[in-house]
Amino acid sequence: MSSSRVRALFCDLHSLPKGKYIPSQVADGGHVGFAKGAFAVSLDRDLLTIPGTGVYEGLPDMELILDKQRRKSWQENTEIALGDLKAKGNTFGLCARSSLKKTINEFKSMNLNPKIGIELEAYVFERDSENVWRPYDTPGAFVYGTGPTNDPKGLMSKIWETAENADLPVESINGEYDNGQFELTLCFADALKACDDIFLFRTMAKEIAFQNDLILTFLPKPIPDRGGSGLHVNFSFENKNKSNAIVDSGKLSTLGEKCISGLIHHHESLSALLASTVNSYSRLEPASMAGYWANWAEDHRLVTIRTSTSSPKSARIEHRTADGAANPYLAVNAILQAALLGIKNNYKLPKEEDLDGLENVRATRHVPSSFSKALEELEKDTSLISSIGKLLCDAYIVLKKDEVDRLANKSVDEIREYYLPFI
């Protein structure tokens, strides 16, 4: 590839795609500078005293060390460069991508290569006659719908075509449960590539929508009386024999059981990293297919952790709590680290959920009732914090507690309007 400019990008703790356009010859140098304070800004642009950002130290520099391989862009005459953040030659503690890489290497030292597949759900908004953003008008839409009745303006076709041209591997796109809601699924890949792909895909999809005078939002509950939107993380492990380590002799392996035990054990604290907005907790309710209960079962969409072991090749564990507002590197890392803690600590695996999950459920534990309470649970979970990275988690907690405070006593509509331009 050859282009006159490079778009250097990283994902911040709000999950925003921050970066710079730089000349290709500058990018060839392998790095580009930013202020650590990029991680210290609220969505409404207040500068906060976030740990690790050096706000009272002159907002010192960090560098994005660019990957050698460039990615195709959806913008003309442009390449994309992703990378890892460093400060004074050391890994920058707030870089979620670097933390994920560390986790991947932990699994690889066990001869396990994490494989990830991500399903996104999103709503589309359009302007009404008064120039106000309203839900996409799709009266003929239905679940698993395709074509013009589901998407009158053809946004999904434009996203699909653009993704293909940018080498972003789409597995499927279809209408979800509610009018104007869509499911967008990417192909399974090695963990880092899967997170890079979803980060770029989400950025691209929002930008394509905006260019067509629409908003594609991954906000988990943008319309109170309609269903929520999630980000389902599917994972498995390839062992040294190139086999799927999640299954053994046609059933869930001991490794798979230990992973689930870790996810169950850390269920409450995990929610703070997976459901990362005040709005998220409007989605996380009983009987919502949204990962509320601390439970698991084979091929059961009303539990949080759904296993699928019927095919040894495609066997996977699906975690259903996260939503599209989450930083994908941080969310996937948190799930993998909770699974790893289950492997290391031999937590007791609860019995498989055998009730309907709607009106009847055996699980008694569930996600906290608010983002504030979820952050409190995360603060108490020192083992999960330590495994992900203390500075990273400390910064995230301070940033998100500020967000909670900003939105205290705000109406549902005010909360949605706060997030809608960004998520």
pLDDT for residue 175? 86
pLDDT for residue 2? 58
Instruction: Give residues with Cβ within 8 angstroms of 193, minimum separation 6.
Output: none
- pLDDT for 129 beyond 80: no
Is residue 104 within 8 Å of 191, Cβ to Cβ?
Answer: yes
Quote the CA–CA distance of 79 and 66 in Å, as a whole number.
Answer: 12
> Amino acid identity, residue 325?
A
The residue to which tokens 């703790």 are assigned: 13
Quote the CA–CA distance of 404 and 36 in Å, as a whole number.
Answer: 23
- pLDDT for 1 beyond 60: no
* pTM (predicted TM-score): 0.94
Tell me the pLDDT band of 169, cut-offs 50, 70 and 90. very high
The model's pLDDT over 309-352, given as tens digits with 9 standing for 90+, comes to 988 888 999 999 999 999 999 999 999 999 999 999 999 999 99
pLDDT for residue 138? 87
The model's pLDDT over 58-105, given as tens digits with 9 standing for 90+, comes to 889 999 999 999 999 999 999 999 999 999 999 999 999 999 999 999
Which three-class secondary structure state does DSSP give residue 393?
Answer: helix
- Listed range (27-31, 173-177, 323-327, 333-337) with the worst mean pLDDT: 173-177
The model's pLDDT over 263-275, given as tens digits with 9 standing for 90+, comes to 999 999 999 999 9
pLDDT for residue 301? 83
CA distances from 142 to 147, 158, 176, 180, 283 (A): 11, 20, 7, 9, 20
The pLDDT mean for the chain works out to 93
CA distances from 40 to 61, 163, 398 (A): 13, 31, 10
pLDDT for residue 237? 97
Region 379-389: what's the mean pLDDT?
97
Region 116-141: what's the mean pLDDT?
87
- pLDDT for 24 beyond 90: yes
Per the structure block, which two tokens stand in for 259?
């992973």
Region 300-314: what's the mean pLDDT?
89
The model's pLDDT over 193-247, given as tens digits with 9 standing for 90+, comes to 999 999 999 999 999 999 999 999 999 999 898 889 999 999 999 999 999 999 9
Domains (range + CATH), the chain: 5-92 (3.10.20.70), 103-419 (3.30.590.10)
CA 243 to chain centre: 26
Region 111-116: what's the mean pLDDT?
97
Is residue 255 within 8 Å of 237, Cβ to Cβ?
Answer: yes
- pLDDT for 261 beyond 60: yes
- The end-to-end CA distance of the chain, in Å, is 30
Helical packing angle, 155-165 and 191-211, nearest 10°: 130
